[in-house]
Amino acid sequence: MPDTPSSSIFPFSTDLSLFAVARLSPETHRLADRARQGQVGRYMRPADFQLDAAAQLTSPDLQYAAAVRLIAERAPLNITPGEHLAGSATLSEARRHITPLLGVGSTSHTTPGFDQALKTGYRGLRVRVEARLQRNDLEARGRDFLQAMLICLEAADAWHERYMRTLDECITSRPADDPDAVVYRRVRQALANVPENPPANFAEAVQSLWFIFAFQRLCGNWPGLGRIDQMLGPYLQADLAANAITLDEARELLAHFWIKGCEWTDGTSNGSGDAQYYQNIILSGVDAEDVDVTNEVTYLVLDVIEELGISDFPVAVRVSRRTPERLWRRIAEVQRRGGGTVAIYNEDLVIRSMHQFGYPLGEARQFTNDGCWETLIPGKTNFLYWPFDILALLQQVLGVNQPEQPVADYPTFEALYQAFRQRLERQISDMHTAADRHALDGPPAPLISLLVEGCIENARGYHQRGPQYTVFAFHAGGLPDVANALLALRRVVYEEKRLTLPELAAVLRQDWAGQDVLRQWIRRHITFYGNGDAAADEMARRVFDDFTALVGQIPERNGVKRPAGLSTFGRQIEWAAQRGATAAGAHRGEYLSNNFSPTPGSEKNSLTGVIHSFCSVDFMKLPNGTALDIKIHPSSLQGEDGLAALVGVMKSFVELGGWFMHIDVVDSTVLREAQLHPERYTDLAVRISGWSARFVTLSAEWQEMIIRRTEQEFR
């Protein structure tokens, strides 16, 4: 992209009649259409400049800072006519999770302290770093790290000045009454004071938040945004009280924030989709003092999502028994439009679980996530999680993938289960050993460290145990599949004695060859997890309790917190190649359960049964959480009755003690049609797991997984 404003407007058609309420302007819809189709993202380019030899001979932190400074000075700028915000991450290395110029992995899976950066501005951060430098307890590495932070702040100022100069050029090159010039002046006015200083009004706050966020992304980082309504709401409330802005004007500005979030989208296939950049947003809920933060920004954000259909910011709303009816309804109205962009947290449960795990109550109340739904304390946490396939452990005990090895003929089901539990215990012990070494000496990251509490005070970076909290979460995937397999093993081998354990293991090694009658009997006559069945849920609960108990034996050691979670995030695709057939009737290589959702095809009853099974465990033992992923056919949600039913589903989920749920309203026939004619469905979005993506940008494997899950789950 050139260091000058774009001049071309891409043609497209916008039909505002598609929306029940068309609140946003046609111009905003035109910009949104461009962004969703990836017309901005396709102009990204790799850096055509590099560090000089002198910079490469300095310490890692100072070398990183030199790269950030050069990026700020040389990266292309992008100013698009009609946009109400400035700042774009234009280097394609950043989109690949790489720090430009350095060629090393960047930082993600965390929500930094954008709230504090807003309140104090870069100026406040600079004061803190300079004060820390004045103390006499610094070693050479700590001094280099703090100096690198100051260079990063200087770089951010340089990037800001380049945008200001370019905006001036845009303004002076057009007649004063030119519509684009009018917008440029408005953008320049909002950008002039921030992010160096705290915002004075809502427009400055929105611009400041975006500009800070965009600079992090320009330098390769993929941060979550966090509680945007808590951050921006007070500015809007003050402006509304002073009659300085209208709700319509505020909605337009937030819509442009959402449009800017599509800038890395280029419309091409990217395996797991085009929007997996962890720019998650949290809405509603309480603050550290237990005061509800829901405000007009909460509702304006939902308006924007509903009308523009932009899925690049996955949104989770914190709900509880105190959630107002107006908010329940708005969540349901947005969910009903499809795309799976809006999910819900059971706020009270999450807070209690995190507090019981060891976080101070006030901090637990401020929880956000790392980029999907795993919970953390924003602006204070280095976060990493280790996912592993718990089904693989059971299959190792049975020797499913080792046909040359004999199978131990465990005399009782309890003996078999204990062998599985011992294998699980060894897995967790190995993970604890790895956690002991986490973030001791990782890559330099002084830029994002500016936004993480503890790094300045400790004079250590994000990846060097600088943050207040270092978290290494243990995540098991495939737990419903393990529970189902154990249930079938107990029934077939130990209760009905249809086969011995070695005989059944041999059948699994042969992928059910010659035993399809038995396989079909198992699938028809055994009720598995996901149906509200007492025996099936008890088995899932037993595995859950053992997993969480084993992890919970060491909640923290060597400065590293170790919460338990359950997740797959789509890894059932990569795991499928290593998974053999299961005793529950699955063939080798099938795509199985997603997160803690039922194994596809195992649900025989209603959505109520799915929710009851999911909520049958004690999530107080799972401080890093899990997700229930459900699909509902659009025909089930028509009219006021359908809307009320959707609200009822969410309320029941909270009442029964669920953790996190996302609902995708989608028709599998539409997905099949989108596979055949992707050019007709460029805006069709689906929820994957912790993120959303436009369906046509998913690889064929991911598309097939989504479709099969949709065809087999409740609709």
In whole angstroms, give the CA distance from residue 693 to residue 314.
9
Contact (Cβ atoms closer than 8 angstroms) between residue 530 and residue 602:
yes
In whole angstroms, give the CA distance from residue 392 to residue 409.
19
Q: What is the predicted pLDDT for the residue at 712?
A: 58
Of 375, 355, 352, give the one whose Cα is nearest residue 226.
375
Q: How large is the greatest C-alpha to C-alpha distance in the chain, in angstroms?
A: 88
Contact (Cβ atoms closer than 8 angstroms) between residue 423 and residue 96:
no
Of 339, 333, 282, 280, give the one whose Cα is nearest residue 310.
339
Give the DSSP H or E segment for 319.
Answer: strand 315-319
Claim to verify: residue 278 and residue 204 sit in the same structural domain: no
Q: What is the DSSP pairing of strand 660-665 with strand 342-346?
A: antiparallel
SS3 381: strand
Tokens 């300085």 locate to 244
Residue 45, beta-bridge partner list: 91
In whole angstroms, give the CA distance from residue 339 to residue 311.
7
Q: What is the predicted pLDDT for the residue at 20?
A: 52
Q: What is the DSSP pairing of strand 556-557 with strand 560-561?
A: antiparallel
Claim to verify: residue 393 and residue 431 sit in the same structural domain: yes
Q: What is the predicted pLDDT for the residue at 605?
A: 75
Q: Is residue 452 one of the residues assigned to a domain?
A: no
Q: Is residue 525 one of the residues assigned to a domain?
A: yes
Q: What is the predicted pLDDT for the residue at 274?
A: 65
Query: How buried is residue 196: exposed, middle or buried, by Cβ count under 10 Å (0-12/13-18/19+)?
Result: middle
Domain end position, chosen among 620, 644, 664: 620
Amino acid at 63: Q
Q: Which two tokens stand for residue 480?
A: 């419903």
Query: How buried is residue 52: exposed, middle or buried, by Cβ count under 10 Å (0-12/13-18/19+)?
Result: exposed
Claim to verify: residue 143 and residue 211 sit in the same structural domain: yes
Residue 354, beta-bridge partner list: none
Claim to verify: residue 251 and residue 380 sit in the same structural domain: no
Claim to verify: residue 204 and residue 240 sit in the same structural domain: no
Claim to verify: residue 9 and residue 59 sit in the same structural domain: yes
Q: What is the predicted pLDDT for the residue at 17?
A: 35
In whole angstroms, give the CA distance from residue 340 to residue 356.
31
Q: Give the Cα-Cα-Cα angle 683, 222, 30 (nearest 5 degrees).
A: 30
| The total number of residues written for the chain in this structure | 715
Claim to verify: residue 358 and residue 387 sit in the same structural domain: no
Question: How far is the CA of 235 from the CAs of 192, 461, 499, in angstroms?
Answer: 17, 32, 69
Total domain count, the chain:
3
User: Ramachandran region of residue 111, left (φ > 0), alpha (ψ -120 to 50) or beta?
Assistant: beta
Domain end position, chosen among 219, 249, 265: 219
Residue 474, beta-bridge partner list: 386, 564
CB atoms within 10 A of CB 127: 12
pLDDT along the chain (715 residues), means of 10: 30 36 92 88 91 87 97 96 96 95 95 97 98 95 97 98 98 95 97 98 98 98 97 98 98 98 80 77 98 98 95 94 96 90 96 98 97 94 97 97 89 98 98 97 97 98 98 98 98 97 96 96 96 97 98 98 94 91 96 92 86 97 96 90 95 97 87 84 76 79 76 48
Q: Which two tokens stand for residue 228?
A: 């945007």
Q: What is the predicted pLDDT for the residue at 707?
A: 77
CB atoms within 10 A of CB 120: 17
Host domain of residue 196? 1-219
Residue 687, beta-bridge partner list: 692
In whole angstroms, give the CA distance from residue 190 to residue 194.
7
**How far apart are the two ends of the chain, measured CA to CA in Å?**
45
Q: Which two tokens stand for residue 107?
A: 């930082």
Beta carbons within 8 Å of 251's beta carbon, 6+ residues apart: 23, 24, 300, 303, 304
Domain end position, chosen among 620, 639, 665: 620
Claim to verify: residue 47 and residue 196 sit in the same structural domain: yes
Q: Is residue 701 one of the residues assigned to a domain?
A: yes
Beta carbons within 8 Å of 229's beta carbon, 6+ residues apart: 283, 284, 293, 294, 295, 297, 298, 301
In whole angstroms, give the CA distance from residue 245 to residue 301.
16
Of 236, 239, 213, 207, give the one whose Cα is nearest residue 226.
213
Q: What is the predicted pLDDT for the residue at 275?
A: 66
Claim to verify: residue 304 and residue 426 sit in the same structural domain: no
Claim to verify: residue 18 and residue 116 sit in the same structural domain: yes
Q: Is residue 413 one of the residues assigned to a domain?
A: yes
Claim to verify: residue 130 and residue 162 sit in the same structural domain: yes
Q: Is residue 456 one of the residues assigned to a domain?
A: no
Claim to verify: residue 178 and residue 261 sit in the same structural domain: no
